[in-house]
Amino acid sequence: MFDADMTEYAFTFSQSALIKTIIYFSIMYLIVMILNVFVVSRYKLIDLLTGGRKNEKIKVKNPFISILIFIISLIILGYAYYQVTENMLSLNLKMFLTCIVLGIIGTIMFFWSMSGFILKLVQLNKKLYFKNLNMFVLRQINSKINTTVLSMSVICILLFFTITIFSSAMSLNQSIRKDLEELTPMDLQALQYSNEESNSVLTDLENSGLQTENLKNIVEVAYYRSEEVTVEKGLGQEVANEYAENFKYRNQMPEPLMKLSDYNKVAQAYGHKTYTLKDNEYLVVADYDEMIKYHNMALANEVEITLNGQIYEPKYNQIINGFVEMSTNHANTGIFVFPDQALDNSLLSQRLLLADYNANNENAYEKIESQFQKTIFPNNLSVMSKTVIYDSSRGLGTIVTFIGLYLGIIFLISSAAILALKELSESSDNKERYQVLRKIGTDEKMINRSLFKQIGIFFLVPLLLAIIHSIFGIKCANIMLAAFGKEDMLNSVMMTAILIIVIYGGYFLVTYFSSKRIIKEK
């Protein structure tokens, strides 16, 4: 799962954390004790003796107000959903946090309003309301409404975090592992930040002390830049304005350019398809999803580019999906490929070298890699090996997977435990009510079914809303993590579903059987 050497990882026990935990729990218990003293002191003795038989008074009984607030909650949630999915790329931090706050407020309003009118709604259907013990179950659910609303909202949000974090973390980890295999087809990459014609990358590597005889399949190409091929001119005015608005990006930034022969060298080394161009054609190579759609819009509009007095038109009406530099993720926002004669050395910007290790076995490979990692390169040279790229990416994958597992399981257990404790407490308080049901002739199966429905609704309702939240939350996470690639979410969602069924479903069953035992006690 972690795809890394975990032998150096170990769990440690923190004595200071234990002491802090004891202190904080003691403070919480002390505060609760003090508050309970004030609460109990306000009641008469007769109220304390008969309080367990009374339902909590519902402050808002007007179903029209409840329905109105319910509709408002849906509008608030819908607005937050829309902003974090359709407008995610244009949101600033303040607006993003505002959407989170709106989601929390909408969730609280949803449960508060639903508890206010759902009973009235079911009462309209007399056949359903008076069937078996539905009347008893619904009134039980509708009681103690204030604490139910708050706990339901908190549990729903915790479940939302569980589903979103766990699914996104598992998907991201799978995507990173898949991308590594695809995006690192060679053993070494060196990028030279120099526009001097005489300095080759291979020469700089030799001058740094790297034994270049250990390299084979060497490919050296060049990047070019021109003020005539900027973001605005490459995309066209209309598409560029939309791009700049969404990405807050300067339209006058020059785009990377490459000769067709150089691109074909790289494509051949990577095992990709090579291309041909007429003297007045160009093509665009990219693999960053959020940028591909803008290039495709521009190419569909047949945007023409003028370079050194020559007008060039796109050969294809969509981008060529690919990359030139090795990376941990799909980060190529676009490279414009022109015929060789269109670019001269006056536009030279950078040089790139790609190579494999001249090694026949694993020991020889590790020896060359060790020699590479000991070499000190000049500031104008950025050198990375496949091993370094793998190690850095695996570290990120390990962190993401661990955090996803930890937070997902912790939030899930917390939400299930809160519900379980609340239901067990209410079952204990409601023993006398179930005794009354038995005295009026209700059979045990019907009582157990009513208990099952009551607990099931408490567990199911926050989960259903959390699933709806998560649909948009996962979509938002995918947009934010688009640079890392997109993996099929089905496997991650299935793993999350299994986790919820095992842990959340397990808590539900334990709560039901424990509550059934409690209401039978005399």
Query: What local confidence, expressed as pLDDT, does residue 250 receive?
Result: 59
Q: Are strands 335-338 and 257-259 parallel, antiparallel or unpaired?
A: parallel
Q: Are strands 348-357 and 188-192 parallel, antiparallel or unpaired?
A: antiparallel
Residue 222 in contact with residue 192, Cβ under 8 Å? no
Cα separation, 312 vs 150, whole angstroms: 63
- CA angle 151/153/157 to nearest 5° reads 115
Tell me which of 41-45, 255-259, 420-424, 507-511 is least confident: 41-45
Enumerate the β-bridge partners of residue 283: 337
pLDDT for 27-59, tens place per residue?
A: 999 999 999 898 888 888 877 777 666 655 555
Better pLDDT: 436 or 164:
164
Query: What local confidence, expressed as pLDDT, does residue 203 receive?
Result: 86
Cβ burial of 278 (10 Å; 0-12, 13-18, 19+) is exposed
Q: Helices marked H in 86-125 — which ranges?
A: 93-123
Query: What local confidence, expressed as pLDDT, does residue 189 receive?
Result: 92
Query: What local confidence, expressed as pLDDT, does residue 25 receive?
Result: 96
Of 476, 350, 498, 508, the C-alpha closest to 89 is 476
pLDDT over threshold 70, residue 198: no
Cα separations (Å) of 260 from 306, 310, 355? 17, 16, 19
Query: What local confidence, expressed as pLDDT, does residue 269 receive?
Result: 94
Of 218, 208, 191, the C-alpha closest to 349 is 191
Element (H, E) at 470: helix 444-480
pLDDT over threshold 90, residue 120: no
Element (H, E) at 35: helix 15-41
pLDDT over threshold 70, residue 123: no
Cα separation, 343 vs 223, whole angstroms: 10
Give the pair of three-digit tokens for residue 177: 């592992």
pLDDT over threshold 90, residue 356: yes
The angle, 0 to 180 degrees and rounded to 10, between the axes of the packed helices 386-429 and 444-480 is: 150
Query: What local confidence, expressed as pLDDT, does residue 409 receive?
Result: 87
Query: What local confidence, expressed as pLDDT, does residue 124 receive?
Result: 66
Of 356, 390, 176, the C-alpha closest to 270 is 356
Confidence of residue 488 (pLDDT cuts 50, 70, 90): low
pLDDT over threshold 80, residue 443: no
Confidence of residue 117 (pLDDT cuts 50, 70, 90): low
Give the pair of three-digit tokens for residue 322: 């690919």
DSSP summary character for residue 259: E
Look at the alpha carbons of 105, 106, 110, 111 in this order and tell me if their dihedral is positive or negative: negative
DSSP summary character for residue 56: P
* CA atoms in the 13 A half-sphere facing the CB of 23: 6
**The residue count for the chain:** 522
Q: In b/e form, how buried is each residue of 327-336, taking b as 16+ CB within 10 angstroms?
A: bbbbbbbbbb
Enumerate the β-bridge partners of residue 91: none
Average pLDDT of the chain is: 83
Of 386, 468, 433, the C-alpha closest to 190 is 386
Query: What local confidence, expressed as pLDDT, does residue 20 receive?
Result: 96
What one-character-per-residue DSSP string does 142-191 give? HSSHHHHHHHHHHHHHHHHHHHHHHHHHHHHHHHHHHHHHHH--SSEEEE
The residue-averaged pLDDT of 459-472 equals: 90
Better pLDDT: 419 or 8:
419
Sole residue written with tokens 């900027």:
230
The fraction of the chain above a pLDDT of 90, given in percent, is: 31
Better pLDDT: 134 or 382:
382
What residues does each domain of the chain span? 15-181+392-520, 194-379
Cα separation, 384 vs 394, whole angstroms: 15
The residue-averaged pLDDT of 7-22 equals: 86
Element (H, E) at 505: helix 489-520
Most confident stretch, 226-240, 340-354, 446-460: 340-354
pLDDT over threshold 60, residue 438: yes
Better pLDDT: 8 or 384:
384
Tell me which of 126-130, 142-146, 225-229, 446-450 is least confident: 142-146
What one-character-per-residue DSSP string does 258-279 give? EEHHHHHHHHHHHTPPP----T
pLDDT over threshold 90, residue 341: yes
Query: What local confidence, expressed as pLDDT, does residue 285 receive?
Result: 95
Confidence of residue 174 (pLDDT cuts 50, 70, 90): confident
Query: What local confidence, expressed as pLDDT, does residue 173 receive?
Result: 75
pTM (predicted TM-score): 0.67
Cβ burial of 209 (10 Å; 0-12, 13-18, 19+) is exposed
- CA angle 11/15/21 to nearest 5° reads 100
Confidence of residue 146 (pLDDT cuts 50, 70, 90): low
Query: What local confidence, expressed as pLDDT, does residue 72 receive?
Result: 92
Tell me which of 159-168, 244-253, 374-383 is least confident: 244-253
pLDDT over threshold 70, residue 60: no
Confidence of residue 275 (pLDDT cuts 50, 70, 90): very high
pLDDT for 213-255, tens place per residue?
A: 889 999 999 999 999 998 888 888 888 877 776 665 556 788 9
Better pLDDT: 450 or 282:
282
* CA atoms in the 13 A half-sphere facing the CB of 361: 2
Cβ neighbours of 28 (radius 10 Å)? 10
The angle, 0 to 180 degrees and rounded to 10, between the axes of the packed helices 63-85 and 93-123 is: 150
pLDDT over threshold 80, residue 129: no
